[in-house]
Structure 1
Amino acid sequence: MTHIPSPAEELRLIDTELRQLDARRSQLLARRGWLLATMDAARSKAQAPVPPPSGPEATPPRVQNVLLILGGTLLTVAALAFTLVGWGHLGIVGRSAVLGLITVAALAVPLVLTARGLRSTAEAVAGIGLVLTVLDAYALHEVALSGVDGLGFSAAGAAVLAVVWTAYGLLPGTAELRLPLPSALAAAQLPLPLWALAADADAFGFAAALLATAGFTTAVALRAARRPVLLTAVVGACGMGAGGVLTAGALSVAATGPSAAARAAALLVLASAIALAAARRASAVTVPVAGLLLVAALGSVPRVVLPKVWTVPVYLVCGLALLAVWRVPGVPEGVRKGFAVASGVVQAVAVVWAAQLLAVVLPGALAQVASPWSGVPSDMRAAVTGELPWVTHMETAPLVLAAVATVLAFAGHPWARPAALVLGWAAALMVPPVLELPYVAGLLTGLGVTVLAVLGALVVPGTAEESGSAAEEPSFFKGTVPAIPTPLVLAALAALTSVHVALLALASRSATLAVLTALTLLFAAAAWRGPHLAAPAALAYATALTCAIGAAAGWEPQYTALLVLTVPVAAALLAARLPRAALPVEVTGAAAALLAIGLTVLDPPMLALVLALCGVITAGTAIRPDRRAVGYASALLFVLATWVRLAAWEVDMPEAYTLPVSIPALLVGALRRRRVPETSSWVAYGPGLAATLLPSLVAAWADPHWTRPLLLGLAALSITLLGGGHQLQAPLLLGGAVLALDALHELAPYIVQVTDALPRWALPALAGLLLLALGATYEQRIRDVRRVRDALGRMS
């Protein structure tokens, strides 16, 4: 069929049209973007808000308040200056008349101002009047009652001022003012504490005065309707209450006898009652505080009567007693929740206190690693402490943890059961060193805890929500926290306990062998139907057991390594039988194999044997369809084993190391090309050929004899001919390159001799002639290169 125009011409025309369309499209898109930007700018300018007209920076009410405050401050300063400085220039009658008239005027003017609606001005003047009443009291003491004790007069004066200011604030004309009543309440905070100080009361009396003041202020806060009065009452109650509680708490801690402890307890009970009374307005804050104060009060007397070791358990029992309110009918929900929070705080503090002993028991087992098989300790306390001192007054820590664990076991929260299990486990580990049990008894206790944890992981349901008592517990304990898998917690506890027991067993050779054997059998039995981590744990302890057996038998490390290799063999067999736990099992087996290799590093013949055995194990694993990739590791191990053996025999020929790699690689490449014919020869044969040819070429260039270069040249020639005959790039190019370099190595001495015989101008002349010849036949040489390239391209 004839094309008009020709296909090439038509293709050129189409490409030209497409380029023109692309250029036009780019121009249109640029124009569109500019138009959109212009329209957006115009729209934004049209919708821009008009700035409001400037006005005064300060509004009239603000200016008025500032002026009133400044005026009141200046008048107050003037009154103070008059009272303190100018007082002595007037007589008694003049002084009394001046202060009385000023005070009465300052207190009377607000009545007139509020009637006319000038409330802000009245507020400022009333403040001046209140300050003047304080100055009147000061003046009265300085003139008429100078012999009266200052603290006692201040207490009485504060009480009188509180009453006067309260009456003034309740008058019909001043009831709208915000200053008198809060000021009266603030003054009411001083009489009782000042009176206690004036009467030389002891710390108990002073704390009682503070708490009584806090109780009075709390009562005012419960009935206060105005916000200024409420805020003042809250601040006063918190301040006085905090002072009273701190004082009573310090007295309770410092008490050495039942009498002092009882008085401090009474003060704490009073503070708790005040906090409970305040629960009507702030139950979420004050009820837990009341519960904690009640715990401190109930534990004061038993603390001084019982030995120090029972201090924390006493307070814990008092804290647990707060939970009894859940069973008392008619108790408000807020009180129940608050007491539960207080009980939780007490339990948390008790657990933190008991955790100090756990921090000694658990790391203490590591001391056996530094001196294994050094001898059986006298008891479990000596086993876990070593050279460190024992923590005193903490023998009741297991009881504390057990009590909290019992409470959590009956709670309906998702994390309650796991937390109870952890606390019970910690208590069980503390019992042997606390009771100073014999060493063997301590090991048996640890093994028993491990067995119970493993059995629990096999039997207990999957989540903590499956507890049957959860539905019967109070709603406070129920939350939306995700459930924690109980079997996982038990498995983790079993692992931790087993490690702890295994470390403690290092003190004795027989104990080490017995404990490691027991742990291996325990986790091996659990692996058939239990958690996935049981099988790796069994293999890990089996590895430790084999090392212990070798050490007990007096074997050298390289011979112990052969015994350790039984663990990777078992791991390979278990991985095939336990597909769900195959990966962790194989990882553990690989770690054991690395340990065996490490044990034989100093003995090359044994290292070669161990590497070969590891290669056999990995080759057996590679038989499984899902583990075909392990075959590469097996090949690598065999190669390493061969190399180590050759190095042990002091073989220095590179071909002895490279041929064991090249031959299997070439066989694999041939099989790959048979199955996948399109596979490149570089992929199939390149690595195998390079692994031998390149090291041999390097060795040939450094070899002064003729045997190696001759054999290498013959091998390279054979590979080149095979590559050319079978149209394969890799053998042709690699063989040809090695052959050329090998020939150059052989001709190098003669080339050097010829070069030395020629005059110095001969080499530049020859180079120039060569370049002229290449230039004259450049186009022909280019065609030759292209033909060679095409010929190579047709090869695989």
Structure 2
Amino acid sequence: MRHVPPPAEELALLDHELVRLDARRAQLLDRRAWLLSVLRAPAEPPRPWAPAAPPAARPYAPAAPASPAHGTQNVLLVLGGLLLAVAAIAFTLFSWGEMGIAGRSAVLAAVTAGALVAPALLLRRALPSTAEAVAALALVLTVLDAIALHAVAAPGTDGLAFSAFASAVLAAVWTLYGLLLGRLRTPLPAAVVAAQLPLVFAAWASGASATGFGWALMVTAAADVAVASWCRGLAVRVTACAGAVVTGLGSLALGLGLSVSADGVSGAVGPGALLLAGAVVAVAGAWRAPREPAVLGGVVGGFAAVAAVGGVPAAGLPWDRAVVVYLLCGAVLPLVLRSRMVPRPVAWGVLSASASVVVGAVLWAAPVVAAALLGPVSMTAGVWSGAPEGFRGALGLTVPWSESASSPVVLVVAAGLSAALHVRWPRTLPEKGWRATAGAGGAVLGCGAVLALLAVADAPYAVAVGVELLLVAALLALTVRRAADAIAVTFLGCALVAAVSVGLLGLAAEPATYAVSGALAVLFAGSATRSRVPAVRSVLACSSVMCAIAVAGAVGASLGWSAPHTAPLVLVVTAATVLLGARLRTPVVAASVELAGVFAAVVAVALAVTDAPFLALVLGLCGVLAAATALRPERRLVAGYPAAALFVAAAWVRLAASGVTDPEAYTLPVSLAAFAVGFVRRRRDPAASSWAAYGPALSMTMVPSLVVAWGDPHWLRPLLLGVAALVVTLVGARLRLQAPLVLGGSVLALDALHELAPHVVQVFDALPRWAPPALAGLLLLAVGATYEQRLRDARRVRESFGRMR
């Protein structure tokens, strides 16, 4: 018994065979062209020819892309359909009046009936593309029939009402036609497009209000969602989705505008119902949608629900309280996630909508927190001018406090929601670090709520200072109790920010400055001793040192001392860090504390820079502290060189401050003693660096002498200095020591430059202007010509210099 395949399968088989025949024909044509080329050029050797491999065969499906004939056929069909449609429109608009009513009806009826019947016949003859083109023409003709019917049969009816009726009839006819001829792809999407119009035209014709238009759009969007969810055709579903997006968003925009602009609660009920229906439609459309559309549907549904529920009570409240209402509605949204029936993408969308509402409310309250944090910065010019009565008096910023009364409530609700998400993260959602983010956000929002409450309530100054100190203490306690995670880092960052804020706040009065700085120093130091994380301990210890620097500066200001006289007090903090660094067992913490002490020393030097005698004293004390640090073996290399440099700088500054014109009388004995110490050290330890042994001794005398020699108009001092530098340079080269070679050579070069400078200036004045560029060009040519040799020489010098001690 012979098997007869179904029509679709047989059609695929025929297409496959046609493709193979086309491929074989192309091979034969290629061979023919090659033979013709060989006959026309016999002198050329024939090239080997291999036929192209036939396309891989697949059962009942073409193995190669469609031939250009199919594309040409489609273009011709589209152009033909367009031309017929244009002709039909021209006939209807311009030639209609030349015929009687019977003739007109007969022509349109005959043409439309023929266009509707022809696709069925074409499909039976296996001509689907031609059937599609004729079907599209038939749809256009039905629209023209509706226009003609209104112009002839019902010219007096309302155009909008007739358009609503006609679009509904066309949508029904096209739907039935598409279902009867299921292989056509145009009628059903066209029916979906036509179905977008009836309710809108009906609302327009009836003079409906904005709410009525919104409901017309919403019902249309609901119908589109139903079609997109339950129909099978891809084109139909895509068209329905596009229609649902356009009509749904339009309806929601109308509802939101009406809800926000409502005069009272009664006026917001209707828009609220429309928005709530939009939320239901959005979630229903997202329920069976793919991931990305489902997430977007959840977002739209969440926003619509918040606007619907919150808009009714918010209509009778001022804006600052309305923000709280919307925030509470947004906070309730995550309760939907507790149901396991909700698809995960929809749940993500709802949670995103809730988070967006919360973020918007927090941004509305953020200016109050910023004013509470940054306000004391604008009041630093009035340090110790007196404590204000209230907290706002210490801020110095103009903020509409009456319109921001709900800011603390907003921040408290947001902080509670973040904390709840951190503790009870929904099981329907993956964590992926969001739980820690929620906890950190709750900490930040809680701190902001405290500051906003102090500012809005205009708490007394002492109460505000005390509350902020307690906030710092609580944050430090939470930091110490946790391990090194994101939440602990957030607590620590909030503590540091709050400490800076309360420290600036305490500058308003002298007692407050001492109380705040001392309390912060104790809090940070105590927290550093209790923390088990080295990095956290380092930050806390450094913060304690900074607070101690503030206390030292306040002591000097209370005593009426100038900035240079206060500098030694600041060095007390550096001395404490030197002792503390020697006792700490954790290297990271010890290094951090000592670096904070170095910062205190820099502050002391900056304070004393305007007074040379005190600057020399401060530099000498810094050298003593650096030398004490260098006594520890692990700090010898780090602190030894700075100690020597500080001693030398202190001596130079002291000599300059005393107006000494012959510094050699003071520096030479010290240099000889330092040289003797360095010589003994080199004898005991030959591997010791010449910089540590002889560097301080040589620079102690040579550098001040060079400075004086540059301003000496006589010739004796530069001559003696040059001879001494030459001797030191030669000794360094002979003994292969870096320090004498570098220091002596540098001083000798600078001294010689000082002596030759007047003559060089005279020579350059005597030369013509073209001479310097010419000399520079010759020099560049010479260097370029011997570039490689110069590189080898420089490499040898560097290697020789590196072998020196």
How far 1:308 moved relative to its partner? 2.3
Q: Distance in 2 between matches of 1:682 and 1:344?
A: 63
Residue type matched to 1:312 in 2?
V
User: Which residue of 1 is the match for residue 510 of structure 2?
Assistant: 509
1:159 Cα deviation from its structure 2 partner: 0.7
Does residue 350 in structure 1 map to residue 326 in structure 2? no
1:225-304 alignment, distance < 5 Å = 225-282=232-289, 283-304=294-315
Matched, 1:613 2:596: no
Residue-by-residue CA offset, 1:688-730 (whole Å, 9 max, x unaligned) = 558646976997899899997999899899x89x979xx9688
Cα distance per residue 1:291-326 (max 9 Å; x no partner): 221111110111013332221221121122222234
- SS of the equivalent of 1:554 reads coil
Maintained 8 Å contact 1:214/1:241: yes
- 1:52 CA drift (Å): 8.7
Name the counterpart of 1:791. Answer: none
Q: Name the counterpart of 2:757.
A: none
Residue of structure 1 aligned with 2:403, choices 383, 390, 393: 393
Counterpart CA distance in 2 for 1:47 and 1:433 is 92
Bigger drift between 568-577 and 195-204 goes to 568-577
- Within the candidate set 452, 466, 470, 1:444 is matched to 466
Amino acid aligned to 1:299 = G
Partner residue, 2:611: 603
**1:312 paired to 2:323:** yes
Following superposition of structure 1 onto structure 2, how do residues 724-739 of structure 1 map, counting pairs within 5 Å?
none
What is the aligned partner in structure 2 of residue 587 from structure 1? Answer: 595
**Aligned CA distance change for structure 1 residues 191 and 652 (closer, same or farther; 3 Å):** same
Give the structure 2 partner of residue 42 of structure 1: none
User: 2:260 touches 2:315 (CA, 8 Å); kept in 1?
Assistant: no
Aligned partners of 1:186 and 1:232 also within 8 Å? yes
Which amino acid letter does the alignment assign opposite residue 318 of structure 1? C
Kept in 2, the 8 Å contact 1:523–1:534? The answer is yes
Cα distance in 1, alignment partners of residues 513 and 50 from structure 2: 85
> In 2, are the aligned partners of 1:196 and 1:205 still within 8 Å (CA)?
yes
Alpha carbons 1:681, 1:729 under 8 Å: kept: no
Q: Cα RMSD (Å) of the superposition?
A: 3.8
Q: CA deviation at 1:672?
A: 4.0
Residue 115 of structure 2 aligns with which residue? Answer: 106
Deviation of 1:143 (Å): 2.2
> What secondary structure does 1:155 align onto?
helix
Residue 224 of structure 2 corresponds to residue 217 of structure 1:
yes
CA distance in 1, matches of 2:182, 2:519: 85
- Compared with structure 1, are the counterparts of its residues 573 and 88 closer, same or farther at alpha carbon in structure 2 (3 Å cutoff)? same
Task: Answer whether contact 1:604 1:648 (CA < 8 A) is retained.
Answer: yes
What does the per-residue CA deviation read over 1:640-682, in whole Å, with 9 as the maximum and x for residues that have no partner?
1111111121101142465366335523541343134478989
- Deviation of 1:218 after TM superposition, in Å, equals 1.2
CA distance in 2, matches of 1:621, 1:735: 26
1:485-504, Cα deviation, whole Å (9 max, x unpaired): x3322222111101000111
- Alignment partner, residue 375 of structure 1: 386
Q: Distance in 2 between matches of 1:72 and 1:205?
A: 39
Q: How far, CA to CA, are the matches of 2:721 and 2:171 in structure 1? A: 116
Deviation at 1:381, TM superposition (A): 2.4
2:644–2:696 CA contact under 8 A, matched in 1: no
Contact 2:521 2:547 in 1 (8 A): yes
Identify the residue that residue 10 of structure 1 maps to in structure 2: none
CA distance in 1, matches of 2:555, 2:519: 14
Larger Rg: 1
Match of 1:474 in 2: none
Say yes or no: does 1:519 pair with 2:520. yes
Compared CA separation, residues 462 and 728, structure 1 to 2 (3 A) = closer
- Tell whether the 8 Å contact from 2:167 to 2:198 is kept in structure 1 after alignment: yes
* Whole-angstrom distance in 1 between the partners of 2:346 and 2:713: 100
1:358-369 matches, within 5 Å, as: 358-369=369-380
Structure 1 stretch 254-263 or stretch 677-686: which is displaced more?
677-686
Question: Structure 2 vs 1, CA of residues 189 and 716 (structure 1 numbering), >3 Å: closer, same or farther?
Answer: closer
Which residue in 1 is equivalent to 2:183?
Answer: 176
2:576 alignment counterpart: 570
Q: Is the 8 A contact 2:518 2:548 kept in 1?
A: yes
Whether 2:200 is the aligned partner of 1:193: answer yes
CA–CA distance in structure 2, aligned partners of residues 329 and 337 of structure 1: 13
Contact map agreement 1:221 1:233 (CA 8 A) in 2: yes
Query: Structure 2: where are the runs of 5+ without partners?
Result: 1-46, 55-63, 426-434, 532-536, 753-803
In the alignment, residue 465 of structure 2 is paired with which amino acid? L
Residue type at the aligned position of 2:603: L
Q: Which amino acid aligns with 1:566?
A: V
* 2:451 is the alignment partner of 1:426: no
Q: Which residue of structure 1 lines up, in the alignment, with residue 777 of structure 2?
A: none
Per-residue deviation at 1:48?
Answer: 13
Q: Which amino acid aligns with 1:557?
A: A
User: Is the Cα contact below 8 Å between 1:682 and 1:729 reproduced in 2?
Assistant: no
Q: Cα deviation per residue 1:150-174 (whole Å; 9 max; x = unaligned)?
A: 1111111101111111122222xx2
Question: For 1:147, which of 147, 152, 156 is the aligned residue?
Answer: 156
Distance 1:540 1:93 in 2: 102
Alignment size in residue pairs: 670
Matches within 5 A, 1:41-120: 59-120=68-129
User: Whole-Å Cα distance in 2 between the matches of residues 631 and 192 of structure 1?
Assistant: 89
Q: CA shift at 1:505, angstroms?
A: 1.6
Query: What's the CA shift string for 1:371-412, capped at 9, x where partnerless?
Result: 22233333212322x142335532222222222222222324
The 1:700–1:325 alpha-carbon spacing in structure 2 relative to 1, beyond 3 Å, is closer
Query: Deviation string for 1:518-561 (max 9, x for gaps)?
Result: 21222222232232222211111111122122223322222211
**Which residue among 538, 542, 560 is the counterpart of 1:536?**
542
Q: TM-score, normalised by structure 1?
A: 0.77
Q: Distance in 2 between matches of 1:732 and 1:214?
A: 90
SS in 2 for 1:565: helix
Deviation at 1:245, TM superposition (A): 0.9
Between the aligned partners of 1:736 and 1:127, the Cα distance in structure 2 is 99
Separation in structure 2 between the aligned mates of residue 366 and residue 544 of structure 1, nearest angstrom:
16
1:563 partner amino acid: L
Measure, in 2, the Cα distance between the counterparts of 1:256 and 1:220. Answer: 37
Give aligned-pair identity as a percent.
46
- 3-state SS of 2:530 partner: coil
The residue aligned with 1:457 is 479
CA positional deviation for 1:126: 0.9
Deviations 1:239-282, CA, capped at 9 Å, x for gaps: 11111111111111111111221100100111111112213322
Q: Which moved more, 1:365-374 or 1:589-598?
A: 365-374
Q: Is the 8 A contact 2:521 2:545 kept in 1?
A: yes
What one-letter code is carried by the residue in structure 2 that aligns with 1:303? A
Provide the C-alpha distance between the structure 2 equivalents of 1:733 and 1:504, rounded to a whole number of angstroms.
56
- Counterpart for residue 650 of structure 2: 641
Query: Cα deviations across residues 607-633 of structure 1 (Å, max 9, x unaligned)?
Result: 111111111111111111111121221
CA distance in 2, matches of 1:50, 1:670: 94
Partners of 1:176 and 1:388 in 2: how far apart?
Answer: 71
The answer to whether the aligner puts 1:136 opposite 2:137 as a matched pair is: no
Matching residue of 1:554: 560
What residue identity is the alignment partner of 1:389? V
Alignment CA distance shift 1:660-1:596 (3 Å): farther
Q: Matched residues in 1 for 2:414 and 2:315: separation?
A: 23
Matches within 5 A, 1:466-485: 484=486
Give 3-state SS (helix, strand or coil) of 1:555's partner: coil
